[in-house]
Amino acid sequence: MQNRDYSKEIFTTNYDLIIEKALEEMQIPYFDGFVGSYEPFFWQESIDKFISKSDLTQNWIRLWKIHGSLNWFWKKNTKLNTHRVIRAGKFTETEGDGHELVIYPSKEKYDSSRKQPFIAYFDRFKNYLLNGELLFFFSGYSFSDEHINEIIFNSLRQNNRLSITVFLYNDVEVEDLSKVSAPYLNLTVYGPTKAIINGVLGEWQFDKDICKQNEKSDLYWDEKEKNFLLGDFVRLVTFFISNSNKEISIEENING
């Protein structure tokens, strides 16, 4: 995402803890909508508001897990017959206590309060995509969740300053997306051998002669297989790191 006057935000449908582990390993501060220390609890107001430039936490990553997480649980207050979402430090801390994981959808039907964490995150996602000029990347998302697709395509229609770039792992997903992508010129989709640019589905034609001097095309193109590589999440991360000018410091942190 581009440099902006407010924090970078990550939206993920994954409910594992790999992003949290990576950010903490790199000592990158982040906020996920929970506050507290003993049993951090979900605080909706923190998701509803955008952070101003003067806020101390402006440079913190915002991590929004829109389908829940393996370390979120419903904790019931038996006296009041109510419940709230809490976050355990590790998901094993609450295993066996009879608490229900907060995963979307963990039940076929929700009462109004149990819909709230997910509604708050979906609203944040929608408002973020509608909020001015933005370059947004998708990786590892197959566009199989209609409730998320509705937010994405509505945002593309309503915000002409929004540009979305999608990296897909296989060409079948590109072809499927091409059936609905034609009206959205601000949507660009990249697959191994096919891409959608300006609403048009086509095949890759790579000319190494037009690369810049010292450009490492092998980071994104497999010359032998004639494949675009960045639909693979590992390749995409490697590409971003190599173009960050922080490759050495990142490697030092990873290797301890």
Please, are residues 191 and 174 in contact by the beta-carbon 8 Å criterion? yes
pLDDT per residue, tens digit, the chain (256 aa), is 444 555 789 999 999 999 999 899 888 899 999 999 888 998 888 887 777 666 777 788 999 999 999 999 888 776 666 678 889 876 555 454 556 788 876 554 445 445 678 888 999 999 999 988 889 999 999 898 998 999 999 999 999 999 999 999 999 999 999 999 999 999 999 999 999 999 999 999 888 878 777 778 889 999 999 999 999 999 999 998 888 777 777 676 666 6
Neighbours of 61 (CB within 10 A): 16
Say if CB 206 and CB 226 are below 8 A apart.
yes
pTM over 0.95: no
The terminus-to-terminus CA distance of the chain in angstroms comes to: 27
Decide: 72 and 116 in contact? Cβ < 8 Å. no
Measured at the CA of 31, the angle between CA 62 and CA 34, to 5 degrees, comes to 125
